[in-house]
Chains A and B, each alone.
Chain A
């Protein structure tokens, strides 16, 4: 949270001019779209009669009702305490999102039928690939970051080349290069290990920069104090520098991990039975593409949310010395 002032600010959403402006904008927006043919139009039938025949009157009435609902909702939320506000807004956005998906007329039985397999095979593979890559990437990153900060020209050059190469090439290309290119050199690896290798190397390259920035953000005095007490390089890094760099490192690291979780779907090009691959192959024969893709997306979202929770836990844990 930003550093809050001690003076309570006025509640913006309770100011008449703001409510009026909000009302006008929402009304204008919904006047532009025709909702007479939707579920909402059906709900309005008692007021406007047959929705399709209601014409201009129907559109205006629908827009008006929506605008009123919207403004009342926001004004009411304005009264709630902070925690409740967050919860209510989340739930409302989620509800809107799901009602949007209802428009696709998804076949729920098909989803329920395939969901178990999607999870036991797809999700498990995705999590396996991502988790192993996550660990490998972190290890690579810390080593490369130290190499990049070292005064050893050899180490620096290798690390620099590595980050440049793996940040510069498209991940898809790296996956192909490793799976199809390495056998040319006589090294044959399976699809899953090559996927993991490509992901680790690519994400490791991004994380190298994150670690480097984190390590550099620590005051020189910390190194001097550690050194003056006789701590060696490894000890200083492990016990003094990294613990302090972590609060700086964790937010971008969470970012990278979440995007890696989704990038793991690129491994599907190698025929690995992970979530995206299964979603596509299960949906294809019966033309239930949307069902499977939307289900897979939601599962990705849930997994990302878990990572987000983990990230905020870590942030709280390592931020404790900052509290006054």
Chain B
């Protein structure tokens, strides 16, 4: 079992541990992925995100109700659920793109609240990938990746460029570095968006349906990139309807409905033996296709 290597941070890979996963740039077929999702993230690992009794209202509409969720370092969590169940709302609360009204959210040891002055500290450490990529269209791919480190972390230009190229290589599009986002395909754009977030070297990555705006043949290239990230031990919270991905990569699958967490469990249990009727219905609908 390769459990020890998997939860190593990004930097450890360059050290070239011979017993490692091999070439991290290549995703192995699904069957071999089964094994690595079985390993446990120990309960003692640092809590990256801790949400307790979080509730959120849009006006009078209650979008989240008493949500409890802890994400530990190295954990990979997949959130699924029907449309409008509050999945996006929840993960957008984690980097405070949305404000919650009740309960507590602590990210990387910093409590999120209305009056906080150090929200940048949180956002620096939380990467986010959006459904519609949201690349900066007036900047080249390379500049998209360099902007964050240069402007927020005061990294010198040369170093930012090196990091950017490293991560562009990581998502396997180094040759597109000098193009503008409109000149890329959807899948390539999404991979640039992932590289852009990685350049900030975040403690956790949030994905909000990263593949649902893509054509079917581009979905796999993005999923492969995400899978290889997961292999390297990146902490991830991922809203997705790609159940194959959830099965292969997730440590925990969380099912939401009507703003609540209805069920959560290991992917094997979740998919083969769901407890709640709502989950069964959802799974039967989504797996039928």
The judgment on whether A and B are partners is: yes
A residues sitting closer than 8 Å to B (CB atoms) are 219, 221-222, 224-225, 227-232, 235, 239-240, 243-244, 318, 321-322, 324
Task: Give the CA-CA distance A209 to B200 in the complex, in Å.
Answer: 36
Q: Which of B48-56, B67-75, B134-142 contacts A (4 or more CB under 8 A)?
A: B134-142
**CB-CB under 8 A for A227 and B123, given A222-B136, A324-B182:** yes
B47 interface residue, CB < 8 Å from A?
A: no
Neighbour of A224 across the interface among B127, B130, B137, B182, CB < 8 A: B130
A residues within 8 A CB of B229?
A: none
Neighbour of A239 across the interface among B147, B183, B196, B200, CB < 8 A: B147
B residues within 8 A CB of A321?
A: 137-139, 180-182
Task: Give the CA-CA distance A227 to B99 in the complex, in Å.
Answer: 13
**CB-CB under 8 A for A230 and B138, given A239-B147, A239-B151, A321-B180:** no
Neighbour of A322 across the interface among B120, B124, B127, B182, CB < 8 A: B182
B residues within 8 A CB of A244?
A: 136-138
Neighbour of A229 across the interface among B139, B152, B183, CB < 8 A: B152
**CB-CB under 8 A for A228 and B128, given A235-B151, A240-B136, A324-B183:** yes
B residues within 8 A CB of A222?
A: 134, 136
**CB-CB under 8 A for A225 and B135, given A230-B123, A232-B120:** yes
B residues sitting closer than 8 Å to A (CB atoms) are 95, 97, 119-120, 123-124, 126-128, 130, 132, 134-139, 147-148, 151-152, 180-183, 196-197, 200
Distance of B113 from chain A, by nearest CB (Å): 17
Interface pairs (6), CB distance under 8 Å? A219-B134, A222-B134, A224-B130, A228-B123, A229-B197, A231-B151
Decide if B138 touches A229 in the complex (CB within 8 Å): no
Task: Give the CA-CA distance A238 to B95 in the complex, in Å.
Answer: 22
A residues within 8 A CB of B180?
A: 321
Decide if B152 touches A227 in the complex (CB within 8 Å): no
Task: Give the CA-CA distance A49 to B183 in the complex, in Å.
Answer: 69
Task: Give the CA-CA distance A322 to B130 in the complex, in Å.
Answer: 22
Task: Give the CA-CA distance A324 to B179 in the complex, in Å.
Answer: 10
Distance of A99 from chain B, by nearest CB (Å): 47
Task: Give the CA-CA distance A198 to B136 in the complex, in Å.
Answer: 38
**CB-CB under 8 A for A230 and B182, given A244-B137, A321-B138:** no
Task: Give the CA-CA distance A219 to B135 in the complex, in Å.
Answer: 11
**B152, closest chain A residue (CB):** A230
A residues within 8 A CB of B196?
A: 229
Apart from A224-B134, A230-B200: 18 A-B pairs, beta carbons within 8 A: A221-B130, A221-B134, A224-B97, A225-B134, A227-B123, A228-B97, A228-B126, A228-B128, A229-B124, A230-B119, A230-B120, A230-B152, A231-B148, A232-B120, A239-B151, A243-B138, A318-B138, A321-B137
Task: Give the CA-CA distance A299 to B200 in the complex, in Å.
Answer: 54
Decide if B132 touches A221 in the complex (CB within 8 Å): yes
Task: Give the CA-CA distance A239 to B152 in the complex, in Å.
Answer: 12
Task: Give the CA-CA distance A318 to B137 in the complex, in Å.
Answer: 11
**A245, closest chain B residue (CB):** B138
B residues within 8 A CB of A230?
A: 119-120, 123-124, 148, 152, 200
Task: Give the CA-CA distance A231 to B97 in the complex, in Å.
Answer: 12
Task: Give the CA-CA distance A298 to B259 in the complex, in Å.
Answer: 68
Task: Give the CA-CA distance A227 to B120 in the complex, in Å.
Answer: 8
Among A230, A239, A243, the one with the most B-chain Cβ atoms within 10 Å of its Cβ is A230
Task: Give the CA-CA distance A321 to B182 in the complex, in Å.
Answer: 8
Distance of B91 from chain A, by nearest CB (Å): 11
Among A227, A235, A244, A324, the one with the most B-chain Cβ atoms within 10 Å of its Cβ is A227
**B144, closest chain A residue (CB):** A225
Among A222, A232, A244, A321, the one with the most B-chain Cβ atoms within 10 Å of its Cβ is A321
Distance of B141 from chain A, by nearest CB (Å): 11
Task: Give the CA-CA distance A244 to B137 in the complex, in Å.
Answer: 8
**CB-CB under 8 A for A227 and B134, given A232-B120, A324-B182:** no
Which 4 pairs across A and B sit closest by C-beta, in order of nearness? A225-B134, A230-B123, A221-B134, A228-B128
Decide if B148 touches A229 in the complex (CB within 8 Å): yes
Task: Give the CA-CA distance A227 to B138 in the complex, in Å.
Answer: 17
B residues within 8 A CB of A228?
A: 95, 97, 123, 126-128, 130
